[in-house]
Amino acid sequence: MIGKKMQDAMNEQIKQELGSSYLYLSMAAYFQSSGLDGMARWMRAQTQEELVHAMKLFDHIEDRGGKVKLLALTQPTTEWASPLTAFQAAWKHEQFISSRIDNLVELAAEEKDHPAGILLQWFVTEQVEEEASVSKVVQLLERVGDSGNGLIMLDRELGARVFTPPTTADAAAQ
């Protein structure tokens, strides 16, 4: 059975993951309206990734006899000055999420909550990947600078990203 402290902290993290999903969907809308369909597609895939993250926590609480409580989401930003600014904001956001995961890991240790600790290790690894993938795009956009052709080529490259839903084996490994 999950303890109340961990349950509340995970419910808060579900909100953060859904908030991330909402933010990236807002970025997808921004890119789409800017004619950057590849970047929009990249952000749509990221939106779906975040839903998977939220559901991992949702299932963990339910599986351990806890109660999922969905909290209110705040309205995400809708406009960015440039594609670079948007990806920089996404990178900063991922760093914020990583710090929240670190706090949850510490709480699991304090509470001697080993099942939560094991699940959270998955999130620790995932956050390394999340930060790396966004920072790579930031670097590429910095290199592209004001080159319109470079932006079009990068947009095409980012549009190749496809969301891969978790498999049953992934779910069993949680």
Binding site for ligand FEO (CB under 6 A): 17, 20, 50, 53, 94, 97, 130
The CB-of-97 to ligand FEO minimum distance in angstroms stands at 4
Specify the residue, 136 or 143, whose C-beta has the smaller distance to ligand FEO: 136
Residue closer to ligand FEO, measured from CB, 2 or 54: 54
Q: Name the residue number minimizing CB distance to ligand FEO.
A: 53
The span from the CA of 105 to the CA of 120, in Å, is 6
Nearer to ligand FEO, 100 or 153 (CB): 100
Are the beta carbons of 40 and 32 closer than 8 angstroms? yes
Distance of CA 67 to the CA centre of its chain: 23
CB of 166 to ligand FEO, least distance (A): 13
CB burial of 107-129 (b: ≥16 within 10 Å; e: otherwise) equals bbeebebeebbebbeebeebbee
